[in-house]
Structure formats: C-alpha cells, structure tokens
Chains A and B, each alone.
Chain A
Amino acid sequence: MSRSLPYFFVAFAAGCLMAVMTHLNAVTAFYGSPMFASWVGHGAGTIAAIIILAVLYLIRPKDTASEPKPRAPWWAYLGGVSGAATVITASLAVNSPLALSGAIALGLGGQVLFSLAADQWGFFGLAARKLDRRDLLTVAFILAGSLLVILAGAQA
C-alpha cells in the first residue's frame, strides 16, 4: 500500500462531490443563469470557508512549531480568476452547436491535456513529475470511458 493512496481517495471523493455540486449549480442556473449560480456559489463558498477556517483555528492543536513555509508568489492568490473565467467560457460552449455533452467531453480533454503538460514540465511552481507509459494509458482509459458515459447520457 503506497503512502499516496489516501490522496487518490481524496481526489476521487472530490470528483464525487463535484458531480453533486454540478447538479446543484444546474438547479440554480435553471431558475436564474450560470452567472448567478457562479456568483452565489462563490459568495456562499467564501462564507463557508471563513466558518471552516474559524473552526480549524479554534480547534488547532497547541504549540505546533511547524517549519516556516516558502512565501507564496502574488499570482498564487489568483486561482479564483481562472475559476470564474471557466464559468464564462463553459456557458459559451454549452450554448453552442456542441451542446452539453460535446462541451463536457472537450472540456475534459482540455483539462487532461493541460494536466499532462503541467506534470511533464511543472507549471505554476508545482514540481514536475515525468510522465510514463502508465500515465498515458490511465488517461486513455479515463477519457475513453468518460466519452462512452457522456454518449450514453446524450442518448437519454
């Protein structure tokens, strides 16, 4: 059992959460717009984050003399800009001849291609992780499987 296994579970659980979140966002977007869903989602998320951080601060263990961490570059605070921009490009793609399933499939493709490049060369201050044949095989299986699931969904 590898030490990194728990983090695979974390990522998988995040994906499960993402599916529920997407569904809830779609409910909000149905009564309003994708813009409103994203605006209210980021707002409610900010409040939730403050509450969680406050709780974490209150229950923090005493005297944790952790070693000082490297300072974050200024752009590291701007991940939210990219997240907000996603909403705009995604809704433009969905309201096009591609329709929802096509937009999702191409979006997954874009995300995976970027991740491959990011691991190979180490983008945005994260360590490079040289790709091997297993990575490419993994990506091929996940993308092919996702395409089939999306196709099945489009037939519903």
Chain B
Amino acid sequence: MIQAILFAVTAGVLVGISRQVNGRLSLSTSPMVSSFFNHIVGFAVMCVVAVIVGGLIPPTIRDIPYYAYLAGPFGVIFVAAGSLAITRIGAVNTAVLIIGGQMITGAAMDLAEGVTAAPLLRFSGLALILVGMLLAQGRRA
C-alpha cells in the first residue's frame, strides 16, 4: 500500500516537474517549440519502454476509434498552454486552474453520459473548486 501511495504521489510530482522544465524551455524558445520537444523526447522514451516491456501494438488495434487518436494533438496544445501559463502566473496558479478545469469538464462529461450518482457531493465539490479558482485569480500579480 505504501508503495502504491508513493507511485501515485510521484506521478503527480512528475507532472509538476515536467511543466516546470517545459516552462523553462519555453522562456528560451516558445511554448510550441517546448511542446514539440516534450513530445518527441517523450516518444523516444516510450519507444525504449516499449522495447523493454514488449507487446506494444495491441491485437485489438483496429477497434480503436479514430477520434481517440486526437489525444496526441490535444496534448500538444495542453503542454504549450501549460508552458505559457506557468511562466506568467506561477506553478501553483497553473496547477490549480488546470485541475479545476479538468474536474469541471470531467463532471460535465459524466453528466452528459448520464452519470448522476452523488449529486450533492459532486456539486459541493465543484462549488469549492469555483471558489478556489476565483480566489486564485483575485491575487494581484
């Protein structure tokens, strides 16, 4: 259990490190160039991982709907946006705004799919997130 907790927390820290490092590169280049290097380097690493682990190409590859491959291009915009934001409003604001947007959109997507469990919990959570985001942008500079 301790190990699983460490993995989960580390995953979060790695997200923060990657945004910080990409932000630094965007200062010297541009957010899009930074996003390009993030993806090409990440692709190289994933190629190595795939060779080590094996079984990269799933046998059900033809079942994957084409729209799912949009995740990659969306990721490029996501990383560029994160690199731009972190250099202007800092790591905390960037992180909390991204998390807020993610939670609100995720909940909206759940609702659209007819997932309506625990509405009280869900909406009070979203309300807290909204308050947090308003607080974040209210700070001067």
Interface positions of A (Cβ within 8 A of B): 2-5, 7-8, 10-25, 27-28, 31-33, 35-50, 52-53, 56, 69-73, 75-90, 92-93, 96-98, 102-103, 106-116, 118-119, 123-126, 129, 131-132, 134-135, 137-142, 144-153, 155-156
Are A144 and B20 closer than 8 Å at their CB atoms?
Answer: no
**Contacting residues, chain B, for A12 (C-beta < 8 A):** 97-98, 100-101, 133
B interface residues, Cβ below 8 angstroms from A: 1, 3-5, 7-25, 27-29, 32-47, 49-50, 53, 55-58, 60-61, 63-65, 67-79, 81-82, 84-107, 109-110, 115, 117-119, 121-122, 124-133, 135-141
Quick one: given A44-B71, A110-B10, are A147 and B16 in contact (CB under 8 Å)?
A: no
Do the beta carbons of B8 and A110 come within 8 Å of each other? yes
Whether A93 contacts B7 by the Cβ 8 Å rule is yes
Q: Which residues of A contact B4 (CB under 8 A)?
A: 92-93, 96-98, 103
| Chain A neighbourhood of B128, CB < 8 A | 141-142, 144-145, 148
